Amino acid sequence: MIKGIGINCNDEAIDGRLDRLDEELDRAAAAGFDAYELSLAAVNVIRNGRIDAAELARLAAVLARQPLRTTVHGPMALRLTEPTGRHEQIFLSCLAATQRIGAEALVYHSAQLALRPADQDDAGPLPDAGALAEAWRVETAALARVARHAERLGVIVAVENRDPHLWEIAALARHGKGPADLLTYHRGMRLDLIAEQVAAVGSPNVGICLDVGHAFLAAPYWASDYLGGIRAAAGHVAHVHWHDNFGRLDDRCESLGERLVFGEADNHLPPGWGAIPLADVLAALREAGYGGWLTIELRGRYAHLWPEVAAAARRMIARPS
């Protein structure tokens, strides 16, 4: 059974201010949500990889005043493929902060992305098969190590599947490769491989964070059937990010408004606005016995719609499969 409905943190609106976080938590509870996914980058708790104990205590006090349960989203730039250990140490700080505020899960974006945009110096050669295999080994081994801490702390680590972009296809073209090569150079968008990685880690405290929108954009590149791909991985899902899009990669539109007009990108629309078969996804998760949160991830542009979004999600959960 689904635990309930969560809503994501608006990083830019909070911008380090706990008073703004307090106000947003009030609005989330009033809108009818059961949980709140805090972005650690939105608060000032971790500084140069280390926890500031006083700020963490203040954050915990703000969260304790609210009825909402909590999950946590780690920094987007966190990469357990990084071999020096710095990112792993930052991950452990994130994990400790997650436990201290009583949050149930820490979301981590898969770092299995070997491409760079043109403005980030992609002039060098693409990594060879050996380098790709080593990145996979390093991240998987790091996840196994942090899993021991997660088990001790009682926190779930949820590895999130990523989404593809047209800049990646352009980067591949500069190296004489085509869109099909995303399968090789962007493994983080493949639910099947993340499921394999989670299985290899073998911890009850490490699972997949299924981002339904990312999977919808990625499925044409690695799976012949979106729902089939989700069904195959559903047994490993520990957390869910729930939102909508039209399955069209980002092209020339830069603003959220224009992306909505053209139906482009991972624009985190209210569920039901796009083309994702969300009722079928929910049925697949239920069939696999999923019992975690349904965390709705919306852009701040749609924050005024929180009450109707929460009500619609509750109706969908209540509907028999």
Please report, for the domain that includes residue 164, its CATH number: 3.20.20.150
Of 14-28, 167-181, 267-281, the one with minimum mean pLDDT is 167-181
Which residues contact residue 127 at a Cβ distance below 8 angstroms, ignoring those fewer than 6 apart?
114, 135, 185
Q: Strand 50-51 to strand 46-47: parallel, antiparallel, or no bridges (unpaired)?
A: antiparallel
pLDDT at 193 (0 to 100): 96
One-letter amino acid for residue 43 of the chain: V
Q: How far apart are alpha carbons 48 and 135 in whole angstroms?
A: 24
pLDDT at 212 (0 to 100): 98
Residue 120 pLDDT > 90: no
**Full residue range of the structural domain in which residue 263 is found:** 4-318
pLDDT at 121 (0 to 100): 62
Q: How far apart are alpha carbons 300 and 39 in whole angstroms?
A: 14
Residue 61 pLDDT > 90: yes
Average pLDDT over residues 131-142: 97
Tokens of 27: 């609005």
Residue 298 pLDDT > 90: yes
Residue 262 pLDDT > 70: yes
pLDDT tens sequence across 102-114: 999 999 999 999 9
pLDDT at 321 (0 to 100): 62
Tokens of 195: 């499921």
Average pLDDT over residues 257-275: 94
Q: What DSSP element (H or E) covers 39? A: strand 35-39
- At 225, give phi and psi (nearest 5°): -145, 115
| Size (the chain), residues | 321
Confidence of residue 252 (pLDDT cuts 50, 70, 90): confident
With CA atoms as reference, report the closest residue to 40 among 98, 92, 99, 85.
98
Average pLDDT over residues 223-235: 94
pLDDT at 125 (0 to 100): 86
8 A C-beta contact, residue 74 and residue 298 = no
Tokens of 212: 């339904």
Of 134-148, 242-256, 263-277, 279-293, the one with minimum mean pLDDT is 242-256
Q: How far apart are alpha carbons 225 and 285 in whole angstroms?
A: 16
Residue 122 pLDDT > 70: no
With CA atoms as reference, report the closest residue to 18 among 54, 71, 68, 69.
54
**β-sheet bridge partners, residue 208:** 159, 237
Residue 17 pLDDT > 90: yes
Higher pLDDT, 117 or 273: 273
Residue 246 CB neighbour total at 10 angstroms: 19
Residue 65 pLDDT > 90: yes
8 A C-beta contact, residue 265 and residue 164 = no
> Residue 101 in 3-state DSSP?
coil
| Nearest-10 crossing angle of helices 212-222, 191-201 | 110
8 A C-beta contact, residue 12 and residue 77 = no
Alpha helices per DSSP H over the chain = 11-14, 18-31, 53-64, 86-100, 129-153, 166-174, 182-185, 191-201, 212-222, 226-233, 256-262, 278-287, 306-318
Angle of CA points 9, 28, 7, to nearest 5° = 45
pLDDT tens sequence across 173-219: 989 999 999 999 999 999 999 999 999 999 999 999 999 999 999 99
Residue 246 pLDDT > 70: yes
Domains of the chain: total: 1
Average pLDDT, the chain: 95
Q: Percent of the chain at pLDDT above 90?
A: 90
8 A C-beta contact, residue 174 and residue 123 = no
Longest dimension (CA), the chain: 56
What is the C-alpha end-to-end distance of the chain, expressed in Å? 12
Tokens of 299: 């852009």
